[in-house]
Structure 1
Amino acid sequence: MRRPRLAFGLAVLCVAIGVPAHAWAATSGATAARPVVHMEATVLAAQIDPRRADHTLTPGAESSVLAVEQALQALDLLQAQWVDGYFGTETISAYAAYQRSLGYTGLDATGLPGTTSLTQLGRGRYTVRDTISPGARTERDGYVVDARTQAMLAEAERLLGHALLLDQGSYNPGGDPTSAGTHDGGGVVDISVTDLTAAERTPAVRALRQVGFAAWLRDPGQGDWPWHIHAAAINDTDLSSQAQHQVGDYYLGLNGLADHGPDDGPRIPIQTWEQYRRGH
Structure 2
Amino acid sequence: MRRLTAAVMFAALASGAMTATTSTAQAAPAEVNMEAVVKAAMWDPYKDDQSVTPGSGDSVEAVEKALAAKNMLDKKYVDGHFGTTTVTAYQKYQRSLGHSGLAASGLPGKGSLTDLGKDQYKLTATIDVGGKTSMDGQAVNTRTADMLKAAEKRAGIDFSVTQGSYNAGGVGGSAGTHDGGGAVDLSVSGISDKTAAVKALREVGFAAWHRTADQGDWSPHIHAIAISDTDMSPEAQAQAGDYYKGLDGLAGHGKDDGPQVKKVTWEEFGRS
The equivalent of 1:16 in structure 2 is none
The equivalent of 2:62 in structure 1 is 67
Contact 2:138–2:164 (Cα < 8 Å) also in 1: yes
The equivalent of 1:44 in structure 2 is 39
Contact 2:157–2:191 (Cα < 8 Å) also in 1: no
Summarize deviations over 1:156-206 as a string: whole Å, max 9, x none: 111122200011000011111210100000000000001212xx1110000
The equivalent of 2:261 in structure 1 is 268
Matched, 1:277 2:234: no
The equivalent of 1:178 in structure 2 is 173
Matched, 1:242 2:242: no
% identical equivalent positions:
53
Unaligned ranges ≥5, structure 2: 1-11
Matched, 1:53 2:48: yes
| Partner amino acid, structure 2, of 1:176 | V
Matched, 1:203 2:196: yes
Match of 1:83 among 75, 78, 81: 78
The equivalent of 2:122 in structure 1 is 127
1:10 CA drift (Å) = 3.0
The equivalent of 1:19 in structure 2 is none
Aligned equivalents of 1:264, 1:136: Cα separation in 2: 33
1:248 CA drift (Å) = 1.1
Summarize deviations over 1:28-59 as a string: whole Å, max 9, x none: 64x52111100000001011000001111100
Please give the secondary structure, in 2, of the residue aligned with 1:185: coil
Q: What's the TM-score, normalizing by structure 2? A: 0.92
The equivalent of 1:14 in structure 2 is none
- CA separation of 1:7/1:266 partners in 2, compared to 1, >3 Å: closer, same or farther? farther
The equivalent of 2:9 in structure 1 is none
The equivalent of 1:149 in structure 2 is 144
Please give the secondary structure, in 1, of the residue aligned with 2:20: helix
Unaligned ranges ≥5, structure 1: 12-23
Q: What's the TM-score, normalizing by structure 1? A: 0.89
Aligned equivalents of 1:32, 1:70: Cα separation in 2: 16
Matched, 1:256 2:249: yes
What is the count of residue pairs matched by the alignment?
259
| Partner amino acid, structure 2, of 1:213 | F
Contact 2:134–2:140 (Cα < 8 Å) also in 1: yes
The equivalent of 1:10 in structure 2 is 20
Aligned equivalents of 1:94, 1:267: Cα separation in 2: 34
Summarize deviations over 1:209-254 as a string: whole Å, max 9, x none: 0000000001111111111000000000001001011111111111
